[in-house]
């Protein structure tokens, strides 16, 4: 999707290892979000950011941490990956105040923890 890139697109990792997913935007949007999508659960919010170094927890934040040192990058880290964290992870951005405008989503990262 234009203006927002997720990397890697696919990753297989072993249980217990740390994993970092990257979301990069070129839109200079203030707000960034990480979601996970699983069958039967839809999308669930993990963490979000409302500015550089400003982050907060979402619905399912346990086992995840985030960092935002620059406007354009929002990193999601699985501190010690577990099989329950196998999922598709989506990053999203928005320009206006949080929920007052539509989000633009990245293409997703498919993570498999074995």
Tell me which residues touch other proteins (CB under 8 A). Answer: 1, 33, 35, 40-45, 48, 50, 56, 58-59, 90, 92, 97-108
Nearer to other proteins, 79 or 101 (CB): 101
CB 82, min distance to other proteins, A: 22
Between 76 and 92, CB nearer to other proteins: 92
Least separation, in Å, of the C-beta of 14 and other proteins? 25
Q: How far is CA 79 from CA 17, 73, 96, in A?
A: 7, 18, 31
Whole-number minimum distance, CB 72 to other proteins, in Å? 18
């Amino acid at each position: 999707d234009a203006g927002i890139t997720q990397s890697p697109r696919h990753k297989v990792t072993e249980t217990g290892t740390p994993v970092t997913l990257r979301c990069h935007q070129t839109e200079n949007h203030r707000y960034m979000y990480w979601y996970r999508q699983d069958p039967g659960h839809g999308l669930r919010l993990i963490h979000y950011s409302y500015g550089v170094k400003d982050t907060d927890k979402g619905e399912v934040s346990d086992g995840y941490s985030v960092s935002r040192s620059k406007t354009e990058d929002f990193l999601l880290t699985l501190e010690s990956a577990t099989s329950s964290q196998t999922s598709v992870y989506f990053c999203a951005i928005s320009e206006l105040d949080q929920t007052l405008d539509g989000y633009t989503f990245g293409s997703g990262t498919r993570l498999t923890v074995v």
